[in-house]
Amino acid sequence: MKISEDLISVIIPTYNRITYVIEAVESCMAQSHTNIEVLIIDDGSTDGTEETLNRLLKGKWKNKPIKYFRQNNAGASAARNQGLQLSKGQYIQFLDSDDMLFPRKIEIQLEALSKVNADGCSCQGIMGRSINEKVISLGENFHSVLNLMHKICSRKQHIMCTNAPLWRKSALEKTSGWNPELAYGDDLDFHIRVLLGVKKMEFVPNILFFVREHNYDRLSHATKSINQVESGIKTHQLITKNLKKNGLWDIDFQDNILKGCRALYPIYLKFASKKKLAEFERWLLITANKSDLIFVFFSLIVLRRLLGCNVLLYLYEKVRDR
């Protein structure tokens, strides 16, 4: 089959994003690669998404390769899994419903990964309130799958956003899909599990997608939720387990995982029960074995037990504000 004949499945999970999801779909219909199917998975929206999209499917979008499916609210990961099950394409493109693909995204990446027989191809993008306002660059080059894993496990953000890769479906079928139990860090967990099973990844320096920035999507807001914090911790624990299982656990992974956990620890002090906090602390000490951070975690845990969570949080805030 020629590249021009390959079917691409674009999976768009959405929840109460009727303001933006139409633009997301239209950006798919504007692709220079025309053999495409768009699967909209509505995660139980209550803002009129179902009625509006069904009208479009009977009108402006009639006879276009756009399909709409609705599920009970279960989260974006469950919606993406539903899209994967329904997809018929040889390649998969995930797209968040408030973001957009630039017209040649699929064409450029499909050609790039086909040339080198890669399992996926990432790219650059931009993020901002709108395309016309000041934007932030997204995406970074890498020289191997292992190097990419190291980079996305670092505390540096936006190495490979959900919208960035074009995947061979066969590469995704080796995993169990997205983890619906993770409310935060689901993309990091998914990408690591996929990358553990692929042989080659390609990167193109082209800016090929737009991510819409929202104040409430920032980490500083997300981590105020106990569900988000616990998901972040679980993500780090799952990644650690998978890296060790595959014999890839090294000093760099250990350092990046522990630094991520160190950022979550003071926030977890506010919410966690004594039992859950003690379990997390035990895991931290085991994971930090032979690391330079072992003394940091040991000291924090001793101070927490001697002084209590509130005093430790007070001291942490004082140090942070300096």
Question: Which string of DSSP letters, residue by residue, matches 147-207?
Answer: HHHHHHHSS---SS-TTS-EEEHHHHTTS----TT-SSSHHHHHHHHHHTT-S-EEEEEEE
Same domain for 8 and 106? Answer: yes
**Which of 213, 236, 270 delimits the end of a domain?**
213
Q: How many domains does the chain have?
A: 2
Contact assessment for residue 83 and residue 13, using Cβ atoms and an 8 Å cutoff: yes
Same domain for 199 and 259? Answer: no
**Which of 213, 245, 269 delimits the end of a domain?**
213
- Find the domain containing 290 and state its range: 219-320
**In terms of C-beta density within 10 A (0-12 exposed, 13-18 middle, 19 or more buried), how is residue 313 classed?**
middle
Same domain for 157 and 127? Answer: yes
Same domain for 163 and 306? Answer: no
Contact assessment for residue 11 and residue 83, using Cβ atoms and an 8 Å cutoff: yes
Which of 256, 245, 251, 262 minimizes the C-alpha distance to 291?
A: 251
**Which of 155, 182, 213 delimits the end of a domain?**
213
Q: How far is CA 243 from the centre of its chain?
A: 18
Same domain for 165 and 289? Answer: no
Q: What is the pLDDT, as a whole number, of residue 314? A: 79
Same domain for 125 and 225? Answer: no
pLDDT tens string for the chain (322 positions)?
566 689 999 999 999 999 999 999 999 999 999 999 999 999 999 999 999 999 999 999 999 999 999 999 999 999 999 999 999 999 999 999 999 999 999 999 999 998 999 999 999 999 998 888 878 999 999 999 999 999 999 977 789 999 999 999 999 999 999 999 998 899 999 999 999 999 999 999 999 999 998 754 433 343 457 888 999 999 999 999 999 999 999 999 999 999 999 989 988 988 889 899 999 999 999 999 989 899 989 998 998 899 888 888 877 776 654 4
Q: What is the pLDDT, as a whole number, of residue 318? A: 63
Same domain for 178 and 256? Answer: no
CA dist., res. 210 & res. 100, Å (int): 5
DSSP at 130: S
User: For tokens 């035990």, what's the residue?
Assistant: 282
Which domain CATH number covers 61? Answer: 3.90.550.10
- C-alpha radius of gyration, the chain, whole number: 21
What DSSP string describes 33-67? Answer: S--EEEEEEE-S--SSHHHHHHHHHHTTTTTSSEE
| Residues 6+ positions from 264 with CB-CB distance below 8 Å | 223, 229, 232, 233, 236
Q: For 243, phi and psi rounded to 5 degrees?
A: -65, -40
